[in-house]
Amino acid sequence: FIPIASLHFGRLGVAAVAAAAMDAFVVRDEKGTIETVPVPTPAADECLVRVLIAGVCGTDLEILQGYKKGFAGVLGHEFVGVCETAPAEYDQLVGKRVVGDINLACSDCSCCAVCAGGGDRARNHCPSRTVLGILKKDGTYARYLTLPARNLHIVPDCVSTENAAFAEPLAAAYRIVEQGVIAPLDRVAIVGDGRLGLMISECIGRHMTEGAPRPVLFGRHSEKMKLLSASANMKVALASEALPSRAAAFDVVVDATGNPDAIIFARQLCRPLGTLVLKSTCAGETTLNTAPFVIDELRVIGSRCGPFEPALALLASGLDLTPLIEATFPLEEVVAAMARAGTKGTMKVHLRCSSD
């Protein structure tokens, strides 16, 4: 039970929160349909957010292919929306455009050693966490969602709604910088010229210190690599021309291909005692000969969700990711949107869930 006095209401009213229904894309048994469902009721520490734009992510498509066995609920985790209600101590959020961390940690520091430790481990790896649109928490393919107020971040006024919708994947891209795997003079390669590879390149290229070798983005599509901003300060090269001349030429190699078999190519680019960063989550399985990883003594690091503050700062500084948007569909056409997003070579697809 949430005392009405403890909530600050925005555009919705008390009656609307209690009685409204909404459209949502609900998944059961790896199949999804648009359904009319009740507007979610926020818990005592949560806000009700009206979704403006939801991004269609590769992870969403992988869930429908079995990446998260048994997932049931509203799909989606990338969004920008408007905070409609909030706990009284967070009333500054009401009426603001917001984006949000997708991991909901238990935050019970008396019982959870991970949450008690704080930092990025608590943010990403609470063993009791739920995850927006991925694990036991309804997601973004809907008119409304709920998230803890502490998970929300206000979008700067200078950032467009369409650009703000990239905050979550850009934060995930920035996670590699946050993890500190790149030394000041490291030679860095990113493999994959899809939307994630391009965002990782935007983050890493800006992070490199003066005098460091320029990172190299390896891809298969020259026209996609041309979408990189000049500020990324990246070199680009066709993956088909990388070997053998650039074998073992990089200290850090990031795989952002979305293809489980591409780790072999990424490993070939990495020098002995180098670092291989895996960024893609894939439902498919692959057979991998681990001997070269052992022989070369490679360090293999997974990389997942990242910090929103630097991502929003990048967007506010002028990084414009809207050229990556290939199509925008209304929520009612979510099936067509996902089909488009799943078509080979497609860049970013957005869902317009409500008007600004």
Report the C-alpha gap between 239 and 262 in whole angstroms.
11
For residues 67 and 283, the answer to whether their CB atoms sit within 8 Å is: yes
**φ, ψ dihedrals at 329, nearest 5°:** -115, 150
**φ, ψ dihedrals at 38, nearest 5°:** -65, 145
Report the C-alpha gap between 325 and 50 in whole angstroms.
21
Q: Enter the pTM of the model.
A: 0.92
For residues 144 and 40, the answer to whether their CB atoms sit within 8 Å is: yes
Secondary structure class of 145 (helix, strand, coil): strand
Secondary structure (DSSP) of 170-235: HHHHHHHHHTT---TT--EEEE--SHHHHHHHHHHHHHSPTTSPPPEEEES-HHHHTTS-GGG--E
pLDDT for the residue numbered 1: 35
pLDDT for the residue numbered 280: 81
pLDDT for the residue numbered 287: 81
Take residue 252 and report the two structure tokens written for it: 């850090």
pLDDT tens track of the chain, all 356 residues?
A: 344 445 555 555 544 555 589 999 999 988 899 999 999 999 999 999 999 999 999 889 988 887 767 789 999 999 999 999 999 999 999 999 999 999 999 888 888 999 999 998 989 899 999 999 999 999 999 999 999 999 999 999 999 999 999 999 999 999 999 999 999 999 999 999 999 999 999 999 999 988 999 999 999 999 999 999 999 999 999 999 999 999 999 999 999 998 878 899 999 999 999 999 999 876 567 788 999 999 999 999 999 999 999 999 999 999 999 999 999 999 999 999 999 999 988 999 999 999 88
Report the C-alpha gap between 86 and 90 in whole angstroms.
6
Report the C-alpha gap between 246 and 271 in whole angstroms.
10
> Quick one: three-class SS letters along 23-41?
EEEEEECCEEEEEEEECCC
Secondary structure class of 253 (helix, strand, coil): strand
